Structure 1
Amino acid sequence: MQIALYGLAYWPELQPTRLPENTYRELQLLARQYYQMTSLLIKAKVDFNAICDQVLPGMQELMNDHAGRHKLSDFVLRYRHTTHILEMGETRFRKDYCKWAEKKGYRNRERMAALIFATAQNGIPVLPNAPSTQIVITEAIRVLHTVEASRDAILTQMQALAKTLPEYSLVREMPCIGDTLAPRLIAEIGDVRRFHSKRALIAYAGIDAPPYQSGKFSANNRHISKRGNRYLRKTGYEVMQSYVMHKPANDPIFTFIEKKRSEGKSGKLAMVAGLNKFLRVYYGKVTELYRSLPQ
């Protein structure tokens, strides 16, 4: 009833709203699940690392899991405990590790085997080499791999959907935006045509500074409003981190970030300013693209 009364009172001033197409709605649904799975994956990694430190101390410093590779977790599954490595003896362990590493496609096998055995000799495990410990380790790795596979499957579907949209290739060609960031960015912004201006998109992201006035007082130093889409702010911040990491030459957005830093702004404030400029560029390019398409 309140919405209806508001509509009746302000009907002449209300602007027509473009409902999102199914592709954008599906993308946003998948993006929400992607963030959820990412959160679960971080927790699973923390749990696994904590257990790893208690059964194979020092091994995390020697090897790390990378995208699509599970060297550390595969190693823990095979060798389980510091005691197990030491009971094998150095000669037998080196041969066994080199054979296993060659099968898995890992490099520096001889040198790594020596480092692992030396680390095992100096390590003091907290948990015993017992069946209960092995169950905990196995289940922690299973959860880690399962959640990672679920997140990757969601991302793959997001990429497939995003590629059907006209703006995907344009967004993908923007500096520092890869196959992971592009679908997530499109999912959070949605159909850019529903925003009447660049300022509306920036307000939707919640990085606009709201007016602050009281009588004759007017504040000059204000924080961002944070009233908009927090997922878009998070994704946008990752985009800015990508800019700072890759440092694209002669790029106006990276140049703008560096300019703000040279003016004494903190890294976070400089990246928020860069995100503001990035969204303006995004809005202009994608809007121009849709205007050029036949209706």
Structure 2
Amino acid sequence: MKTVFGIDVSKSTSNVAILIDSKKLKEFKIDNDLIGFGKLASALENFKDPEVIFEATGVYSRRLAFFLQKQGYPYVQLNPLQAKKEMDSLRKNKTDKNDAFHLAKTQFILNRHKTAIQNPIYSELMNESRFYQEQISDFVEEKNRLHRILQLVFPDIEQLFSLPTGQAYWNLVMEFPIPSLVQRYNADQLGEIAYEAANHTIGMGKAHKVGVKLLDLSKKAISSVNPDSLTIKQVKFHANRLLEIDKLKKKIIKSMKSLAEKLPEYDNLCSIPGISTVTAVSLIAELGDIRRFNRTSQINAFVGIDLMHYESGNYEAKDIISKRGNPYARKILYRTVIDMVSISRYRANHINDYYQKKKQSSQHGTKKIAVAAMSRLIRTIYHLVIKNETYDYSIASHARN
């Protein structure tokens, strides 16, 4: 006898349907807490080798997956799009009860493979990666806010460095949010302040030049607020927030690196030209253990760069990528391709060779070429991880991809 538990997971509760040889035995509802999961575990204990199937519902289903892993029960976790496609032909009415029943019902028909259980390091890396992505979003927003508010008080200070960013710049913005504060000091004094603002990472000669430039900028700057305006505090607040976020980002990456270094693929990825520590740990976090995939086309689908084809009668649409996969992984891979193209003059790589060749011979735009290069990069990463090898341009440039 084959027993299947179909579970429809929602925010705070889950519906469970137990089927034996395709026939419904029992249905019940549980809370997504320790008591509810304990009730589920008691039901599972009554059967030999029960199969559990549920749909991935973001953060809500992760608690169930973690509980099942701890209890030692294998499970099948379905992509929501896959679940919808497979169940639409069976259900006439969509309810949580029906979904739990039909999830279990389809398992008897399709006999899906159990979801591969990954090393807990991958889950922790993903959690930290998402936290890092949040900080990036906050960082961009704070930079925009600081830029807008500086236009009212001291817009010229953005010309102080080649780019209006970095520890030294934000410290000087907090120190001199308005031009009149700069003019209380001479160039030598401002140089010493700049040296401290940069945390001694620049020489005194360069710091002095920064002080001279800051003084010159303050003399031609005009502010639209009074020195006692609340706007001055806003400038300091946003500059300080940028400093805090920048420190937090570095702390998260350091933590991710210490975790990723325990995995063999970390060195594999870092050996690829254009992949930095940040990129390597982010890719591992978002892709997970890619050994669980049988072929690279599955990774393409997971990322969302698998092609969708539409044809009807005499009409045939251009193939487009599905964009149904992991958007974070897709963005990281895209940026990695661009980085590999950018650094190719210093470190040759076959991804750039492919990119340049397509760019010269194809009429497609650079974005489409980059997406095609992403697929090639995925094949490279997969090969290196599976074979546990490091990147070798002399081999990669002659390999058939």
Q: TM-score range by the shorter chain?
A: 0.7 to 0.9
Give 1:34-183 correspondences, 5 Å limit.
Answer: 34-63=132-161, 64=163, 69-86=166-183, 88=184, 92-103=185-196, 104=198, 105=200, 106=202, 107-130=205-228, 132-183=230-281
Aligned to 2:374: 275
| Equivalent residues of 1:258, 1:270 under 8 A apart | no
Secondary structure of 1:108's counterpart equals helix
Quick one: which of 107, 110, 115 aligns to 1:10? 110
CA distance in 2, matches of 1:129, 1:137: 12
Q: Which has the higher contact order (CA 8 A, sep 6+)?
A: 1
Structure 2 spans left out of the alignment, 5+ residues: 1-100, 390-401
Q: 1:214 to 1:262 in 2, by over 3 A?
A: same
Secondary structure of 2:322's counterpart equals coil
CA shift, 1:216, in A, is 6.2
CA distance in 2, matches of 1:216, 1:10: 34
CA shift, 1:232, in A, is 0.7
CA distances 1:242-290 after superposition (whole Å, capped 9, x unpaired): 1121115542111001111112332211111111100011112212229
Sequence identity of aligned pairs in percent? 23
CA distance in 2, matches of 1:254, 1:19: 35
Secondary structure of 1:180's counterpart equals helix
Deviation larger for 159-168 or 41-50: 41-50
CA shift, 1:131, in A, is 5.3
Deviation larger for 155-164 or 139-148: 139-148
| Aligned residues between the structures | 281
Is 1:184 aligned to residue 282 of structure 2? yes
Q: 1:109 to 1:146 in 2, by over 3 A?
A: closer
Give 1:225-240 correspondences, 5 Å limit.
Answer: 225-240=322-337
Q: If the length of structure 1 is used for normalisation, what is the TM-score?
A: 0.88
CA distance in 1, matches of 2:206, 2:243: 25
CA distance in 2, matches of 1:122, 1:26: 51
Q: 1:52 to 1:217 in 2, by over 3 A?
A: closer
Larger Rg: 1 or 2? 2
Aligned to 1:253: 351
| Larger helix fraction of residues | 1
Q: Which residue identity lines up with residue 94 of structure 1 in the other structure?
A: A
| Larger strand fraction of residues | 2
Structure 1 spans left out of the alignment, 5+ residues: 291-295
Q: Which residue identity lines up with residue 189 of structure 2 in the other structure?
A: D
Q: 1:188 to 1:102 in 2, by over 3 A?
A: closer
Q: 1:146 to 1:116 in 2, by over 3 A?
A: closer
Q: Which residue identity lines up with residue 241 of structure 2 in the other structure?
A: V
| Equivalent residues of 1:57, 1:120 under 8 A apart | no
| Equivalent residues of 1:27, 1:161 under 8 A apart | yes
| Equivalent residues of 2:334, 2:371 under 8 A apart | yes
CA distances 1:69-88 after superposition (whole Å, capped 9, x unpaired): 412211122223112223x2
CA distance in 2, matches of 1:58, 1:211: 52
| Equivalent residues of 2:340, 2:349 under 8 A apart | no
CA distance in 2, matches of 1:93, 1:51: 26
CA distance in 1, matches of 2:186, 2:154: 15
Aligned to 2:45: none
